[in-house]
Amino acid sequence: MSLFDNMLHSDQSLFKNEIALDYSFIPKLIPYRESQQKYIASCIKPLFHERNGKNLLVYGKPGVGKTVACKHIFQELEEETDDVILIYINCWQKNTSFKIMTDICDKLGIKFVQNKKTDELFGMAKNVVNKKAVVFAFDEVDKAEEFDFLYSILEDVYRKSVLLITNYKSWLDNLDERIKSRLSGELLEFKHYDLEETRGILKQRMEYAFVPGAFSKEAFELIVKKTAGLEDIRKGLHLMKEAANIAEDRSSKQISLDDAKKSIGKLDEFSIKDSAELLEDERAILDLVRDGSGGKIGDLFKSYKDKGGSLAYRTFQRKINRLEEGKFVSLEKTEGGVEGNTTIVKLREVNKKLGDF
Ligand SMILES: Nc1ncnc2c1ncn2[C@@H]1O[C@H](COP(=O)(O)OP(=O)(O)O)[C@@H](O)[C@H]1O
Ligand SMILES: [Mg+2]
């Protein structure tokens, strides 16, 4: 055996189709989400029979397939019908009513939108959608900073389904009553995948993305377990890509257990990068937690105020809850003691829970 048998030639790669590891890649099949997709479809179905659709709040932690399931349904519908207009908007990118209305007009192919106000834009959009039926999906709706757009749509669009997608079910609690009562929607939870489901999903992606045999069994299995523990498929896609890059760096034809371990070791860095997705004030609060980890929420709020923070305590608390839901921090409630009940906010170490495979 030659010394170089196990090495990649410079024109070779472990990747067959790297795009398949992109978070926005939509596979042909979305396994383990059939029943959720059916449920969403049943909310939309009445629109095909000249009736009104149902509204739906889709919720679940990050990386459990909410976005991909909804986009998949839209893709299928697009192929089947022209009778129902489909509009998908990500409220992280479009976070004001004006931006959302501009985007809607754009997606409807409405021209001459320059210098128009939000109301005027909505007027034009309404004229188009009210000639047919429409499904709106507002993804990451909790990132929107105002909700006039939602009110207008619920009030003035006749035949519609509004799908709201969020990581936080609690988002609904803080929603304006005017909107909540008009929404009167159903709830659909996306639970995290178990070990077997995680394996199935990552295997499918592995087959799309890598040349056969690129992953050693042990390397793949380690990533599957780690991902299942973190309950976030996105992290698994990231780990597969990282491990492959590490293997390629050493010109190996196969991704070894050690490459997988190294990719997991780098995950902490990744979670920090991930926090770039937080809103500015959430990030500022996370930085405070990072500085004085283990602090009482009251003290944290005080140093937040000292640094010129402008949020009221309740909003601050809500931000902390969101950081917890996003797994950036953990909260510990203490009872009794001299100061009565309080909450201790701690920085969450991504690998703590699963360090020992
Ligand atoms: N059931 C599934 N089948 C195939 N891919 C999935 C499935 N669930 C999640 N994914 C993939 O995992 C990643 C995260 O899913 P996504 O829908 O973006 O999560 P969420 O919107 O819940 O945060 C995406 O790349 C997506 O394609
Ligand atoms: Mg999503």
Atom of ligand 1 nearest to the CA of 204: 4
Q: What are phi and psi of 183, to 5 degrees?
A: -70, -50
Residue 9 in domain: no
Which protein residue has the closest C-alpha to ligand 1 atom 16?
A: 65
Instruction: Give counts: helices (H), strands (E), the chain.
Output: 14, 8
pLDDT of residue 350: 53
Residue 227 in domain: yes
> Where is 136: in which H helix or E strand?
strand 133-139
pLDDT of residue 356: 29
Per-residue tokens: 23: 């978070």
Which protein residue has the closest C-alpha to ligand 1 atom 4?
A: 30
Q: Which residue has the tokens 């004085």?
A: 292
Instruction: Kindly state whether residues 56 and 71 are assigned to the same domain.
Output: yes
Residue 263 in domain: yes
pLDDT of residue 133: 97
Ligand positioned closest to the Cα atom of 190: 1
- Strand, helix or coil at 252? strand
Residue 357 in domain: no
Residue 41 in domain: yes
Instruction: Kindly state whether residues 219 and 158 are assigned to the same domain.
Output: no
Residues lower than pLDDT 50 in the chain: 351-357
60-87: pLDDT as tens digits:
999 999 999 999 999 999 998 889 999 9
List CB-based neighbours of ion ligand 2 within 5 Å: 67
pLDDT of residue 294: 64
Kindly give the distance from the C-alpha atom of residue 139 to the centroid of ligand 1, in angstroms, as a whole number: 13
Residue 19 in domain: no
Contacts of 137 (CB under 8 A, 6+ apart): 70, 74, 86, 87, 88, 89, 163, 165
**Counting Cβ atoms within 10 Å, is residue 236 exposed (0-12), middle (13-18) or buried (19+)?**
buried
Instruction: Kindly state whether residues 166 and 202 are assigned to the same domain.
Output: no
Kindly give the distance from the C-alpha atom of residue 142 to the centroid of ligand 2, in angstroms, as a whole number: 11
Cβ 193 under 6 angstroms from ligand 1: no
Looking only at the bridges linking them, the beta strands covering 186-189 and 295-296 are unpaired
Instruction: Kindly state whether residues 207 and 332 are assigned to the same domain.
Output: no
Q: Order of strands, edge to edge, in the sheet holding 133-139?
A: 84-90, 133-139, 160-166, 56-59, 186-189
CATH number at residue 223: 1.10.8.60
Eight-state DSSP code of residue 7:
B
How many alpha carbons lie under 13 Å from residue 319 in its C-beta half-sphere? Answer: 24
Number of structural domains, the chain?
A: 3
Query: Pick from 201, 180, 179: which is nearest to 190 by CA?
Result: 201
Instruction: Kindly state whether residues 177 and 38 are assigned to the same domain.
Output: yes
Instruction: Kindly state whether residues 175 and 119 are assigned to the same domain.
Output: yes
> Residues 213, 218, 221, 226: what is their CA dihedral angle, to the nearest 10 degrees?
-130
Last residue of a domain, one of 138, 162, 189: 189
Between CA 220 and CA 228 the distance in angstroms is 12
Per-residue tokens: 83: 């009778």
Instruction: Kindly state whether residues 256 and 179 are assigned to the same domain.
Output: no
Instruction: Produce one character per residue of 70-80: b if its CB has 16 or more CB atoms within 10 Å, e if not.
Output: bbbbbeebeee
Kindly give the distance from the C-alpha atom of residue 243 to the centroid of ligand 1, in angstroms, as a whole number: 20
Instruction: Kindly state whether residues 41 and 184 are assigned to the same domain.
Output: yes
Kindly give the distance from the C-alpha atom of residue 63 to the centroid of ligand 2, in angstroms, as a whole number: 7
Residue 345 in domain: yes
Last residue of a domain, one of 189, 213, 234: 189
Looking only at the bridges linking them, the beta strands covering 342-347 and 295-296 are antiparallel
pLDDT of residue 328: 84
Structural domain including 243 reads 194-272
Between CA 309 and CA 287 the distance in angstroms is 13
144-192: pLDDT as tens digits:
989 999 999 999 999 999 999 999 888 888 888 999 999 988 999 999 9
Whole-model pTM? 0.78
Ligand positioned closest to the Cα atom of 69: 1
CATH number at residue 343: 1.10.10.10
Residue 122 in domain: yes
Instruction: Kindly state whether residues 341 and 202 are assigned to the same domain.
Output: no
Instruction: Kindly state whether residues 226 and 308 are assigned to the same domain.
Output: no
Instruction: Kindly state whether residues 48 and 136 are assigned to the same domain.
Output: yes
Q: How far apart are the first and last CA of the chain?
A: 33
Atom of ligand 1 nearest to the CA of 197: 1
Kindly give the distance from the C-alpha atom of residue 66 to the centroid of ligand 2, in angstroms, as a whole number: 6
The answer to whether residues 243 and 255 touch, using CB atoms and an 8 Å cutoff, is yes
Cβ 357 under 6 angstroms from ligand 1: no
Last residue of a domain, one of 220, 249, 272: 272
Instruction: Kindly state whether residues 284 and 330 are assigned to the same domain.
Output: yes
Per-residue tokens: 184: 């009167």
CATH number at residue 62: 3.40.50.300
